[in-house]
Amino acid sequence: MNRQSNRLTFGVLATGAGVFALLQSLITPALPIVQSAMHTSQSTVTWVMTAYLLSASVFTPILGRVGDMVGKKRTLVAALLALLIGCLVAALAPNVTVLIVARVLQGIAGALFPLSFGIIRDEFPPGRVPTGISNLSAVIAVGSGLGMVLAGPIVGALDYRWLFWFPVIVVAATALLAHRYIPESPHRTEGSVNWRSSVLLSGWLVALLLPVSQAAKWGWGSTPVIGLLAAAAVLFALWIAGETRSRNPLIDMRVMRLPAVWTTNTAALLFGGGMYAVWAFLPGFVQTPTSAGYGFGSSVTGAGLLMLPMLVAMFVSGLLSGRLAGRFPAKAQLVTGALLGAAACALLAARHRVPLDVALAAGVFGLGIGLAFASMSNLVVQSVPPAQTGAATGMNANIRTIGGSMGAALMTGLVTGHLQPSGRPYEAGYTHGFTLLAVFCLAAAVAALAVPTRSATRATVPGAGPGAVPAAAAPSREPIGR
């Protein structure tokens, strides 16, 4: 593939993945407006976000694996079509039930992340793969936060339904371009979809994420939360046992046990806890009226503008990540990114009296996110066989989401656990919460220090037996090991 084709392929992938990332945060600031327009309750409207999270968590690793088997381009186009239909249904939704169903359809497109990383690995020259992955990671990171900036102006000038109409237009064009110009994968893995494993994976993910995301409302000690967490533990154990014994696993546990993979995934879990919680709670903090003793009384648009330093910083650091890979390897970038995240959360806990304090901390956190996003993806991609890229990067994205759900749930407990007579949180809730997120990011840096160096990541896949090839060089059409 020539350089011109590389650019076109990257543009299509970046547009699709960027729109999906954008939809993660675009609707969040508009939820009160949606609640009023659809005459529903606050507890019901939160399912507009919860349904999207659960759907993406289920479909990301499953369709990543399907792409490894039947072709990444074919699966990518199917995911884009699901996103297109989901956005169209959401834009036309007459009630909140239909809107929630539409968000489930949109969540299917979570597979765009692992599929895009896999296509870059398949189609780009080896020397351009780290830069391509870093650039795509930067787009995804910025898209995940850009919705908070764009939501206010779009809703103010038009209507909340345009939060979905604009993606309809962009995704339709992207799907056509993907079908026409992206080449099909040269690397395939043999076998078929292990549906039993898919059901177990879906089961434990839903059973884990549902109570974690709803614990603030249901109560951590409530029967639904305890029961679902217990079910998640049982289903997870059954899934691991089945995957370990299966000749056709959905997620190859030998790949997941590679030192570079499990350490990177641990860092992803912890850093995700800090990152998603900051995205979820920082806008609310700055929108708190000054009468509460803190906050700036910002509008939705004003809160979005205070997030701009974070978006700019994460985009710049994400773009630079791949270009600096030779002198600043992925492991060092992940450690640095996590430490910057810890520093930013500590700054938020210690200094948040004026907007400049928050803007500075947001910018530092953005630098950390850009480095961490890109380095995690590169570490996983360079450590697994080409035919396992989709499944492995899909699980990494999922683990980051699980961490984000846990971080947001813990932050919710600290912030909303004790309320002022006005019903607003006390400042101490945010201070303690940001301190906890700093600890999360610091722990992620410690986990990142355990990631093997580049030469070590080419170790033999566990269980492959004597004479097996290194993971990063394993034959693309053969099962790992014997």
Low-confidence ranges of the chain (pLDDT < 50): 1, 455-482
* Residue that terminates a domain, selected from 160, 182, 204: 182
| Cα dihedral across residues 443, 444, 447, 452: positive or negative | negative
> Do 202 and 343 fall into the same domain?
no
Determine, yes or no, domain membership for 188: no
pLDDT tens, residue by residue, 294-314: 989 888 778 778 888 988 898
Residue from 181, 179, 153 nearest 166 by CA: 153
> Do 99 and 136 fall into the same domain?
yes
Say what the pLDDT of residue 460 is.
Answer: 43
Say what the pLDDT of residue 177 is.
Answer: 93
Determine, yes or no, domain membership for 178: yes
> Do 2 and 74 fall into the same domain?
yes
159: which residues sit within 8 A by CB, 6+ positions away?
Answer: none
Say what the pLDDT of residue 266 is.
Answer: 94
Distances (CA, A) of 350 to 153, 296, 426: 31, 16, 15
Say what the pLDDT of residue 454 is.
Answer: 60
Determine, yes or no, domain membership for 17: yes
CA distance 337 to 310: 13
> Do 200 and 256 fall into the same domain?
no
Determine, yes or no, domain membership for 434: yes
Could you tell me the CATH number of the domain that includes residue 20? 1.20.1250.20
The pair of three-digit structure tokens given for residue 379, joined into one six-digit string? 């570490």
Q: Which helix (H) or strand (E) holds 71?
A: none
User: Contact at 8 Å (CB) between 140 and 203?
Assistant: no
Range of the domain at 210: 194-249
Q: What is the DSSP string of 175-195?
A: HHHHHHHSPPPS----S---H
Determine, yes or no, domain membership for 98: yes
pLDDT tens, residue by residue, 175-212: 999 998 888 777 667 666 677 888 888 888 888 878 87
> Do 200 and 291 fall into the same domain?
no
> Do 164 and 218 fall into the same domain?
no
> Do 346 and 456 fall into the same domain?
yes
> Do 109 and 129 fall into the same domain?
yes
Determine, yes or no, domain membership for 142: yes
* Residue that terminates a domain, selected from 182, 215, 230: 182
> Do 169 and 199 fall into the same domain?
no
pTM, two decimal places: 0.77
Say what the pLDDT of residue 178 is.
Answer: 92
Number of compact structural domains in the chain: 3
> Do 212 and 72 fall into the same domain?
no
> Do 115 and 164 fall into the same domain?
yes
Distances (CA, A) of 401 to 95, 269, 404: 28, 7, 5
> Do 36 and 73 fall into the same domain?
yes
